[in-house]
Amino acid sequence: MPKPLFENELRERLLRAGVAPRHVRRYLTELTDHFADLKAEEERAGRSPADAESAALIRLGSMDELAQAMTEEHQFRSWCIRAPWAIFGLAPVCLLAGAYLIACYILWSGWKIFLPGTDSPFIPIHGLAVFYFGVGRLLYFSAPIFVGWIIALVAARQRLNPIWPSAGLTLIAVMGATAQVHTNSPTVSGGPGHVIMDFTLGSSLQGNLLHALTILSLTMLPYLIWRFRKGHSISA
| Cα gap 179→141, rounded to integer Å | 10
Please tell me whether residue 65 binds another protein under the rule CB under 8 A: yes
Tell me the closest approach of the beta carbon of residue 62 to another protein, in angstroms. 7
Quick one: which segment of 24-32, 168-176, 214-222, 227-235 binds another protein (CB under 8 A)?
Answer: 24-32
Of 15, 17, 60, 80, the residue at the interface with another protein (CB under 8 A) is 60
Among 69, 130, 163, 201, binds another protein (CB under 8 A): 69
CA-nearest of 204, 167, 196, 161 to 86 is: 167
Minimum separation from the CB atom of position 37 to another protein (A): 4
Query: Strands 194-199, 179-184: parallel, antiparallel or unpaired by DSSP?
Result: antiparallel
Q: In whole angstroms, how close is the CB of 1 to another protein at the nearest point?
A: 8
Is the distance from CB of 192 to CB of 186 less than 8 angstroms? Answer: yes
**Which residue of 3, 25, 33, 119 would you call a contact of another protein, by CB under 8 A?**
33
Among 15, 17, 38, 151, the residue binding another protein under the rule CB under 8 A is 38
CB of residue 179 vs another protein: minimum separation in angstroms?
A: 40
Check residue 25 for interaction with another protein (CB under 8 A). Answer: no
8 forms part of the interface with another protein (CB under 8 A): no
